[in-house]
Structure formats: structure tokens, C-alpha cells
Amino acid sequence: MSAFPLRLGQQRNLFLVVSGLSTAGSFAGITAKGWILLQGSADPFVLALNFAALSLPSLVFSGPAGVRTDRLGCERVLVQAQWGLLAAAALGALAIPLLEGKQQVLLLLGSTLMVGIAGAFELTARNKYCSLLVEEPQQLAGYLASFSVVFNVGKLVGPPIGGLLVAMAGPAWALGIDAASYLLPISSVLFLLRPRRDLEQRSGGSSSATLLNAWRECGTTLRGVLTMTALLCIVNFYHPGLAPLIASQILGPDPRDLGLFTSVLAAGSIAGGLVLQRNSSQFSRRPFLTLGGFGLITAIAQLGMAGTNGIEINLAMTFLIGAGTAGFLSSCNLITQIGSPQVMRGRIAGLSQIAFLGGGGLSGLLAALLVMATSLSTTFAITGGIGLALAVLWIGRRGGRVLEPSS
């Protein structure tokens, strides 16, 4: 226990910073792993499979993660998940010096799968944990939005670090930094953070504290938000698993080109997060207009990627894809947390992850199949066109609906 306890505002800032540093290490590892898989297989489906291994476990484990968080407490589940992330990342780092060829690829995919499973628990618990670090309920919207900005700053600086480490020292260094970065949030939660544990509402062992009951009891507006998120993610989600392939086609095959591409994407994500942060209260009150607006940005940018071969324009569209995707996913997380009671926020966070991570994982696999059957530009044209139609439809039908924050 710290001899000099931090004020709650300082704890919030500390949690943001260590999470951002951990995110930077994670994206350095993701960049290195994507480059290894691209060089080892040159198969877009393997790249999509790697992202699917990261995101699709949310379909299976986010529900149990939400139930466990509401029953046992978010802090306990958060620490357990962070240790799991450390172990999974370390396994990926060991794959580089110990194995080669197909065995190395399989172990890297296995490491990604373990990260995806542990990440489902970590993200669910972290959402509810954030509500224990604010003095007033009205502060939660801004804090969650700030969390998204810091997360995307980590995404900005991580890829170039990963690209440089791969080019200068080899991918094992990038994956090793990824593993070591998880020690920062673990140490802060165990020794420095003292959240308002007395405010947490747990469901205990109640038989009614299930994911299905949370879906039934969250209300028609939140159910609509979750449904809209899932649909738009499936057809219009940016495909991070294909980032090495996209970067190779629009910039070049060097790992530093991949770092530049993902950095531009992350810069767009920061911009989208800042817009959401500065308008968090207003945006959370108009959920379908907000989600539809960010969905439109992503769809139009994908259509722009399909219609041009210029590097500068493609990078500009990449920036917009980052802004639209980050704003869309962060809005879903923000709206569902603000609009749900404290006792079920773990389960609602689990449902949100199923919607955007599960939908995103399926989208990546579908996009990879489309790329293999047609081309990258045709894939962007199809997904962008369908996403544009869906976003306009939802805005037209539900754009005026207002969400009142839960007490």
C-alpha cells in the first residue's frame, strides 16, 4: 500500500497514463506480429485470422466476463485478466527465438488467442472499474472518453516503435516490450490505486444476474445501440488484421511503412476520440445520431480508399477511417455504460464487446475472403457502400431518440 495515498483525480490520471503506455507496448507487439505473419505466409487470410483470434473470443468470453465482473467485483477480475495478458504476450515473445516456420506461426496465433480471451475479461472489468474512480456520476462520460483518447495515443506511438524495433533489433524485442508493458497497470492497480469500492454494486450469486437478463432489462434504446453497433461492425468495420496488406499496397513492404500507416490510422483515432471527449454529454444523449454519424465517416472513407490510387489521398482516407472507427466504438462503450445501472455495467460491457469486437472479427474474415476473391479496392467499395446505406437508414429512423443517463 502506498505511503502517500493519491487523490482520486490523481488516480484517474495515473490509470490513464499507465494504460496508454501499456497500449503503446501492445501495438508495438501487434505491428511486429503482423509483419512476421505477412513475411511468413503472404496470405491475407492468415492476417485476418490473427485479428480474429484477438477479437472473436469476445463472442464466447465477454458474456462470462461480464457476469464474473458483476458477481466478484471489477478490481479482482481486472487484476486476474492483466496477469493473463502478461502470460499470453510472453508466450508470443518466446515463439520468435524458439520456433520457425509453421510452428512459429501457430504459436503466435495461439498467443493472440490467449490475449483475446484475457482481453475480454480485462476490457469488461476496466469499464466498470472506471466508474469507481470518479467523484460524481456526471464525470464518468468525460473520463471514459478521455480513456479512449489516451488509448489511441498509445496506438499512435506504438506502431512506429514496433516498426523500428523490427527493422533494427528484430521482432522478438517488440514482442518482449509488449509483454513487459503489462507490468505497469498491474503494479498501479495493486499498489497505488484506491478506488471507491464502497460504491460498487455487485450482483452476488443471484441466478437472475445473467447476460440474457441484462439484455432484457437494459431497455429498448440500449438494445438498439448494441444491435446497430453489431451490424455496422460486421459490414463496415475497419479491418486491422489486414493492416500489413493494406500498408504494403499503398506505401511499401518495409516494416516502417506499416508503422507509418498504423500511425496515421491512430492519429485519426485520436481526432475522433477528442471530438467525442469534448462533446461526451451531448453525444451520449443522442445515441443513434452519434453512432450513425461516425459510421458515415468510416463508410465514406472506405469508398474513398476504393476510388483512388494516390498515396496522399489514401493516407487522408486512412485518417478518416481511424476517426470514424474510434468514434463509433468509443461511442458505443460510452453510451452503454452511461445508460445502464451500476449493478449490470459489467454485463453491459460484455454485450458491447460482443457487438463491436465480435462483429469486427467476423468483418475481418469476410473482408479477407473478399480480397482473395476480388481485390482490396473492390472490398473497400462493397463494405463502404453497405455501411453507408445502413448508417443513413438508422439515422433516418432513430436519429431523434434521446437517452437519459442511469442513476
Lowest pLDDT segment from 22-26, 51-55, 87-91: 51-55
State the average pLDDT for the chain: 85
Half-sphere exposure of 266 (CA within 13 A, CB side): 24
Burial degree of 60 (CB within 10 A; 0-12, 13-18, 19+): middle
Residue type, 192: L
Q: Which of these, 121, 131, 145, 144, lies nearest to 196 by C-alpha position?
A: 131
Instruction: Quote the CA–CA distance of 128 and 140 in Å, as a whole number.
Output: 10
50 in Cβ contact with 241 (< 8 Å): yes
The pTM of the full predicted model, rounded to 2 decimals, is: 0.81
Instruction: Quote the CA–CA distance of 152 and 61 in Å, as a whole number.
Output: 24
Q: How many of the other CB atoms lie within 10 Å of CB of 17?
A: 16
Mean pLDDT for 104-124 is 89
Burial degree of 136 (CB within 10 A; 0-12, 13-18, 19+): exposed
The model's pLDDT over 136-155, given as tens digits with 9 standing for 90+, comes to: 888 888 888 887 788 777 77
221 in Cβ contact with 287 (< 8 Å): yes
The model's pLDDT over 229-287, given as tens digits with 9 standing for 90+, comes to: 999 988 876 566 677 778 888 787 776 777 788 778 888 988 998 999 899 888 989 99
How far is residue 206 from each of residues 74, 202, 228, 343, measured CA to CA in Å? 17, 10, 30, 12
Q: Which of these, 39, 251, 258, 91, lies nearest to 161 by C-alpha position?
A: 258
Helix axes 101-130, 8-41, angle to 10 degrees: 160
Q: How many of the other CB atoms lie within 10 Å of CB of 403?
A: 20
Instruction: Quote the CA–CA distance of 228 and 215 in Å, as a whole number.
Output: 14
pLDDT at 43: 67
Q: Which of these, 224, 210, 221, lies nearest to 63 by C-alpha position?
A: 210
3-state secondary structure 63-93: HHHHHHHHHHCHHHHHHHHHHHHHHHHHHHH
pLDDT beyond 80 at 340: yes
Instruction: Quote the CA–CA distance of 221 and 365 in Å, as a whole number.
Output: 29
Distance separating the N- and C-terminal Cα atoms of the chain: 32
Retrieve residue 255's grid coordinates: 516494416
Instruction: Quote the CA–CA distance of 268 and 381 in Å, as a whole number.
Output: 20
